[in-house]
Amino acid sequence: MQSNIPIDLTRLTGLMCVAAPEQRTDMDGQVRKDRDGNTLWVTGVALRRAGTRKASVIDVQTAAEPVGVTEGTMLGLTELDVSLWEIEGRHGLSYKAASIYPRPSETSKPSRTSAKTEV
């Protein structure tokens, strides 16, 4: 039985799209759908554990298209889960989120400008 383990998003930082969302397909190129018939999407996400330097890249699956997400976009995620899978001797981790959305980065905030004084 496969169980989902929730990930504490407050312990992650620097979430950024490194591979734009695309429809998930099976080995025959057919678009995969969830149990409710929604198209599945996969997005490459770079992240770091807060307080560390080492970054990781994971593929995160969603049942809704991440609108407005392109490579280089800073991201927010909701309800990120991980599950362990094993099929025919192969095994790995799968990441799923309820949603992935663009989030403004700290560097994209407008800078403060000082008022010029006429002399």
CA dihedral sign of residues 93, 43, 9, 99: negative
Q: Are strands 12-23 and 99-102 parallel, antiparallel or unpaired?
A: unpaired
The pLDDT, as a whole number, for residue 87 is 87
Top CATH class of 5-104 equals mainly beta
User: pLDDT value at position 117?
Assistant: 47
CA atoms within 13 A on the CB side of 85: 10
Place of tokens 């307080």: 51
Q: pLDDT at position 115, please?
A: 47
Q: State residue 4's pLDDT score.
A: 87
| Sequence spans of domains, the chain | 5-104
Residues of the chain with pLDDT below 50 are 1, 108-119
| 101-75-63 Cα angle (round to 5) | 40
